[in-house]
A and B are shown apart, each in its own frame.
Chain A
Amino acid sequence: MKPYMKFGLVIGVVIATLAWLAVGGVKETSTYYKTVAELQQMGDKAQGKRLRVGGDVVKGSIQRNGKEVSFHLVQQEGASKGQMLKVTYTGSDPLPDTFRDDAQALADGHLNPDGTFNANKIQAKCASKYEAKPGQIKPGTEPTYNRSKPGRS
């Protein structure tokens, strides 16, 4: 059984090292995911935390000012629909092409004391590729949308 003991030992060391790395990684990078409304509810607790805020980009709000880009995110669902958050993007990655008016965007960064948000990473997806949720089909649907069963139509 001796080789098996050795194996156990080596395996133990490998797994322990990886677990240690993983725990460290989680601690360093964990980011709280919040919607615009949830962020505003957090109040002061939001200060100093890594945050990822999700919302829709307000139409016409994207402004580029030299190296910075600022825009407004708006809460799209729920009771506090319409709450807004001003975001300033200062990261070095190019902005995604999907980032535009009305896109759903995720901004990573932290909350400034004045209530605006400083983002260093933006992810976005636009509604057109990623289809509508079931039961709310959209595209300029002049004909009232009516899902008819296949085979019967």
Chain B
Amino acid sequence: MENLGALSLLLAFSVAIFALFSSVVGAWRKNLFLIAAAQRSVYLVWLLISTASGILLYGLIEGDFRLQYVALHSNKTMPLMYKITAWWGGQEGSLLFWSWILSCYAAVVVFTNRKHYKTMMPYVIAVIMVTQVFFLVLNNFVVPPFNVWAIGRGIIALPDGQGLNPLLQTPSMAIHPPMLYLGYVGFIVPFAFAIASLITKQPGDEWIHTTRRWTLVTWLFQSVGITLGMGWAYYVLGWGGYWAWDPVENASVLPWITATAFLHSVMMQEKKGMMKVWNMVLVSATFFLCIFGTMLTRSGLVQSVHAFGISSIGNYFATFLAIGIAATIWLILDRLEFLKSESHLESVVSRESGFLFNNLVLLASCFAVLWGTLFPVISEAVTGEKISVDAPFFNKVNIPIGLFLLFLTGVGPLVAWRRSSVESLKRNFLWPTVSMFVTIAALFGAGIRSEYALLSFGLCMFVTVTISSEFVKGAIAIAGKDKMNPLLAIVELTHRNTRRYGGYLVHMGIVVMFIGFTGAAFNKDMIHEAALGQSFNIGRYELKITDLKDGENDNYAWMKAAIDVYVGGEKIDTLSPERRIYKASRQPASEVAIRRRLNEDLFLNFAAMATQGQGAVIQAYVFPLVSWIWVGFFVVLFGTLVCLIPSKIKYSYARTEIVGSVSAASKGQVHAKT
């Protein structure tokens, strides 16, 4: 079996190379047969990698412990779900998983565009296949998944495997990595389209619509992946809460930031024909940051709690990145003429400049995060000393950036394209600004003194008022004209321009998430050694240990406390944090108890049994507003899905310079466009 798996990977490698050359040569010689052959090869590559993956999965599920990968990441007693997740639990398997997802994307792209973009598609295939070949090189020659245990020339099987680390045996493992990979790998598609459009000097912007949709989809996967990771790290100890600015977390957020920037600035290209070079740079940067992130987690370049072991594959990635980036830069420089901007910036107070600043600060944030992540590497190269920067550095730079972005989110819809008159600014800004200051004053009155928290809550109110008024204004107009129920009118309004109003919903979700992040300014913590029956206080809660138990089963030994929670003398809940020690791996695992509420989470950890007598060391934390992060995320998810629904009315993107020729057409669609 493993021979068949290895053989399929080798064949996939050869077929991918064939697809690459046949598509390029086909496009060059205008040979349709070669192009068709390339397209079919893409399907074949998918089939071959799927076969190999299927064989590896079969090995993991059936427990074929002759395979090193299986013996190191699976065992007999793991539930089926974790046997499957072991596919991406280790270096070799997860790189195969990467390759497989890439081949899936390739097949989907080729299939959905088989009748479109006749001149571009061969190059799209070529770009994807270059990447595919690179990953197949890794799968075949560097970290092959089908190695077996052997003594001399005889293959032997181990009696049982090591199993997946207990920390990874949670349901999140089944969905967080695949989502993140779908995001990481998916950014190849916009990149391939961008490069192909440059090579073929694609006229018009049709391809950019395709690219935007793909970016939105992969951006969504990436967002889901990152947020699931945050939710996971929140209740697993040692990963530093939902966000710790760990290098691997940073690696996942870098392409997300550039993709966010791209999703905004692409509107400038669609609507005004501006920022074309910039968009090229963003698409390329996003893709290379994805590859870079993959490298960071696997090469041992920087210290991280999430990283895989140190290995030699870093060099392969570095080479691929160097060649890829050089080729992209050369291509962009060579086609500068073709990327000329069609219009100019006219005023600092305009929607264009809003987008510009949005991009500027997003990129600044990206750069700061990258710099901070690589600081140990850079400082070691420059001064010979390994110096690292910590969470406070990232917070110090990124909190102001985040607040500025929040501000722009609110300002964007209020300023017009091209330039805004002072009169309209006064009118539009009045109520949002007033409500912002009222909020700040009220919170100040309530005793909040943290400047950032006040500013953040104030801006959240500012943005909420702006966005709500956009919905209300539009809905009233429709309700008045079509005699419609105002609530239905909101749905109708959204359906007419899903991109615009879906985008507002995403912004609203971000606002809700910001409220959650701001809650961190009021975190409380407390560590207490309490005897049985004794009680202690944190915030408004009184905690009383009522029971302590310990025991063991086949898998692990455990200690557990029952803790009654009182507020104002009244018992409201009983929480039971637990500490386990897994026998096979001697790995401790904390099952924290969290009382999740919208206003605050009460988070209890059983740290240890007391050193003397009957008691326990309990760590208690109060995390205000954390749940808003998860709620806000669902709003983001919903908004993005709305964006993906086609609008009821198709808006053509009229360019400002050619107003004369399209004014008749755009009169029918007076409705403002985003």
Nearest CB on B from A19, distance (A)? 9
| Bound complex: CA A15 to CA B404 (Å) | 13
Beta-carbon nearest neighbor of A131 in chain B: B309
- Tell me the chain B residues, 297-323 only, with Cβ under 8 Å from chain A: 303, 305, 307-312
- What are the residues of chain A within 8 A of B152 when measuring CB–CB? 146
Of the candidate stretches B109-117, B255-263, B345-353, the one touching chain A is B345-353
- What are the residues of chain A within 8 A of B586 when measuring CB–CB? 100-101
A97 and B236 form a contact (CB under 8 A): yes
Partner of B238, one of A15, A65, A96: A96
B345 and A126 form a contact (CB under 8 A): no
Partner of B353, one of A7, A32, A123, A149: A7
A150 and B147 form a contact (CB under 8 A): yes
A153 and B155 form a contact (CB under 8 A): yes
| Bound complex: CA A151 to CA B619 (Å) | 53
Q: Does B331 sit within 8 A of A, measured CB to CB?
A: no
Q: A134-B311, A151-B3 are in contact. Are A144 and B360 (CB under 8 A)?
A: no
Of the candidate stretches A23-31, A80-88, A111-119, the one touching chain B is A23-31
| Bound complex: CA A4 to CA B356 (Å) | 12
B147 and A14 form a contact (CB under 8 A): no
A130 and B353 form a contact (CB under 8 A): no
B237 and A95 form a contact (CB under 8 A): yes
Flag A125-153 by CB within 8 Å of B: 1 or 0 each: 11011111110010100011111111101
Flag A1-27 by CB within 8 Å of B: 1 or 0 each: 001101100110011011001101110
Beta-carbon nearest neighbor of B155 in chain A: A153
Q: Does A98 sit within 8 A of B, measured CB to CB?
A: yes
B587 and A100 form a contact (CB under 8 A): yes
| Bound complex: CA A15 to CA B528 (Å) | 45
- What are the residues of chain A within 8 A of B307 when measuring CB–CB? 125, 130
Beta-carbon nearest neighbor of A1 in chain B: B344
B309 and A133 form a contact (CB under 8 A): yes
- What are the residues of chain A within 8 A of B653 when measuring CB–CB? none
Nearest CB on A from B190, distance (A)? 26
- What are the residues of chain A within 8 A of B361 when measuring CB–CB? 14, 18
Flag B230-254 by CB within 8 Å of A: 1 or 0 each: 0000001111110000000000000
Q: A32-B387, A64-B611, A96-B305 are in contact. Are A21 and B6 (CB under 8 A)?
A: no
- What are the residues of chain B within 8 A of A151 when measuring CB–CB? 3, 6-7, 10, 146
Beta-carbon nearest neighbor of B10 in chain A: A151
Q: Does B550 sit within 8 A of A, measured CB to CB?
A: no
- What are the residues of chain B within 8 A of A133 when measuring CB–CB? 309-311
Q: Does B57 sit within 8 A of A, measured CB to CB?
A: no
- What are the residues of chain B within 8 A of A95 when measuring CB–CB? 237-238, 607
Partner of B368, one of A6, A18, A96, A134: A18
Partner of B162, one of A93, A108, A139, A150: A139
Q: A97-B590, A100-B586 are in contact. Are A21 and B148 (CB under 8 A)?
A: no
| Bound complex: CA A128 to CA B75 (Å) | 14
Q: A132-B309, A143-B151, A145-B149 are in contact. Are A150 and B156 (CB under 8 A)?
A: no
Q: A32-B387, A94-B237 are in contact. Are A65 and B611 (CB under 8 A)?
A: yes
Flag B69-106 by CB within 8 Å of A: 1 or 0 each: 00110000000000000000011000000000000000
Beta-carbon nearest neighbor of B361 in chain A: A14
| Bound complex: CA A14 to CA B403 (Å) | 13
A93 and B240 form a contact (CB under 8 A): yes
- What are the residues of chain A within 8 A of B521 when measuring CB–CB? none
Q: Does A36 sit within 8 A of B, measured CB to CB?
A: no
B10, B150, B311, B592: most-surrounded residue (chain A CB, <10 A): B150
- What are the residues of chain A within 8 A of B303 when measuring CB–CB? 33, 54, 106, 123
Q: Does B29 sit within 8 A of A, measured CB to CB?
A: no
| Bound complex: CA A128 to CA B239 (Å) | 17
- What are the residues of chain B within 8 A of A150 when measuring CB–CB? 2-3, 5-6, 9, 140, 144, 146-147
Q: Does B342 sit within 8 A of A, measured CB to CB?
A: no
Nearest CB on A from B239, distance (A)? 7
Partner of A97, one of B156, B238, B608: B238
Beta-carbon nearest neighbor of A144 in chain B: B151
- What are the residues of chain B within 8 A of A132 when measuring CB–CB? 309
Not counting A3-B345, A3-B347, A92-B525, a sample of 13 additional A-B residue pairs whose C-beta atoms are within 8 angstroms of each other reads: A10-B348, A14-B364, A17-B400, A18-B397, A26-B375, A30-B388, A31-B388, A64-B607, A98-B305, A99-B238, A150-B147, A151-B3, A153-B2
A-B contact pairs, 28 of them (CB 8 A): A14-B361, A18-B400, A22-B397, A28-B393, A30-B379, A31-B389, A32-B387, A64-B607, A67-B527, A94-B592, A94-B619, A95-B237, A96-B237, A97-B237, A97-B238, A97-B588, A124-B238, A125-B307, A126-B587, A131-B308, A131-B309, A133-B310, A134-B311, A143-B149, A143-B156, A147-B147, A148-B148, A150-B147
